Chains A and B, each alone.
Chain A
């Protein structure tokens, strides 16, 4: 029986483990990947010397090293497929189950799906995917690469590819005109100016790349693989099309647990409801990092530390006074890290067409190959949400369990019903959160 089980060895999970161990808690950390780091510091132990990835990435090595030294039990390459928080029982594969008094979900984010025409063609990928190729294999897309979408990652990746001698032939930025003014009005830029300056540095380094701004009507075209990217008013040949419209919390596990969720209007996604320490609506579960709302890795580190302090307090290892005292500086760090969010959220708000494709032919469910038009028809028949649409259309029954289509399906239904997106509850995932074999299950 561990005091604290942490799901995910990204910034939040690693920071929580280090803090919890320092407070004397026994800690189990589980991660699907073979090494700690999460997606942001993916493979940093192997790749920190690659200058192309930049200094911020290499800085993650320190966090990984302190995690390795923390004395937490680390089970890499391990999948959580069921969690019973009442019993504190984690079903894990490979290897057996584990027990913990408290569970911290630090499962991070996933890229927001970008359902455009042709996005299932080979050669179309998420920008995060290209970055993972860079981090885990030092590899870059060959041939003509086009980046399309928006967000901080777009410019970071553009610069990384440029440094690696694989600069994109074209950047199609989807941010509409006039957003910068809105972003400055949203505030936070002064307090968050350190991050803002970092972003400006990237933009400076990206100078010289061909950029088309305020792009709409994106689509991928080609026979058997992507060959062209087209948009309203233009088109270009390409071999790899990388899409990105920001990231959203990975809510599969928290939703499956039935944790209370709230609609995040700024980021147009659901996120688990947590208190100042990350404690969720179940009294033995906390959520920290991007999984509780997108804030970036610095905020995730702080959130992880706060969740660890709270765990120690709840388990009687830290007094209320001790908690308050230790939390104060972490809280300041957390607020600092989040300062630029209003600016970024306003600048990079996803357009309506990204959230609910206008074209009925666009495939929204990649697994079961279901189009936007079919979802709209199911909504007109009376499906009130993604759970009913799932029974009618199989959207969410495929291998990804709705990770790629759930939000889009809900959005399309909201559109047809004429209701606000937050009135359509999200897909309710079930275990196994990730596949396991019948034999593995039978061997329990």
Chain B
């Protein structure tokens, strides 16, 4: 609090003249300060803050920090470890008992401190103070903020002033002006300030409803039960007989196994119980319950309305208009946000599926272990991070290494297993499934079942914040870039390189290709390795935002196959379209039913099953003989 003094002095001039000594205030409220309680300490804190003593801020800050202590003689001191100083900063001897206010009390102290911090020369302290007020605004802050604003004009402070004005200014016109000054700003704090203005309560009256009426509610909308309850709450109607009360009345009148002459054993339907209660009513043993007709009459004579807590109609009107504008804008922004979410989900699916586009799409080999290659890539990233602590460097190492590891694994799988099964696709499915469970269990045995972290470097954490509604995390942008990069790489390899040409040649006619000096075995091996290697890189990318477990690949495998099938086997742009369709669809369904991402996946898969009915060959279908019947 070094440089605070001159400013505090300046502030003191603005405060009431009856400045008091802080030490005196402390002394007066000694009991409460030593054993403060959240409910009763408020006035004491206010008294300290309002004392006008330049030391008030220091004392309050120390108290909040648990640095305020009491010597055995009762003097309040500041403590720093075992050392103690007087409130003015002179060293003092003696052992101090440190006061330890609880979190609730410290919250109150912090609130009082804010007024001192608003004019702190340290910008960070000012920002913190403004945030603190914005988080928990009250009418008391308004004069403080205005005073601070006069001293040091600051845009953030000015904005805070308007936010407080629109809620707490006594003059409705000033509030409306403040509301309108924000236009349709998307900021969360504006919406947070506006929303409470429109808070309503439901009331029931027999005459004209009073206050700032939002609207009248018909009974049909409320429902008979809820409407009558409102009447009961308002004291305008007697409470209805509840089932529990009726039942208790029946139980209270059991005599010799009978209620009003009806055997208890027969009271196992609601009708029988109602009849028994009526019988009791008739005998006068219980008070009569309101009949349905009485309920109807009471409801008919009453009016139900929603009343704004805010009494000024012009303020609520302005707030409603502002919120309507904001809502429209928020809606548009949310749609944009959703679209970007969908794009990033699509790029994840695309990245997971692009390896499959080669092995399954071009080679027609169904590799159920593809997900495990993704997993191997992710674990490679994890292991590299154990060796190379620098996250950026480890990522640079991990990406090519993951490619190499999974490329090698793919080549081994192709040579040992798949090569022998090219004529038996269904058996490839089963054999590679065997490989899949083998690899999964191996990963479990090596890395354990708990999730392993693959941490993104700092420049990838955080988000690109466009406004309070739209924000995209950098990882997702990186994945989109990676996906586009791989699309380009795939196109380059398949269309511009010798390998791509040979892969296509072998695919279309292996015998012919072989007669032209291309070795189909070698080409198949390389193509399969390439597809697997890309899966490994996808694994590193996915591992950055998902937990690395032995089951990480399983979460993507079905969707990846769907992406390729829906897109149209054999076409990379089909895969892209498939990924986009599935990504947008899943996000769209999630938006319609936000509580449930599981349901979104369910409906998405159902959609795909139906989609395949209409386009069995996918979005981009190869026609004719090339499609291979």
Q: Do A and B bind each other?
A: no
* Residues of A bordering B, CB below 8 Å: none
* Residues of B bordering A, CB below 8 Å: none
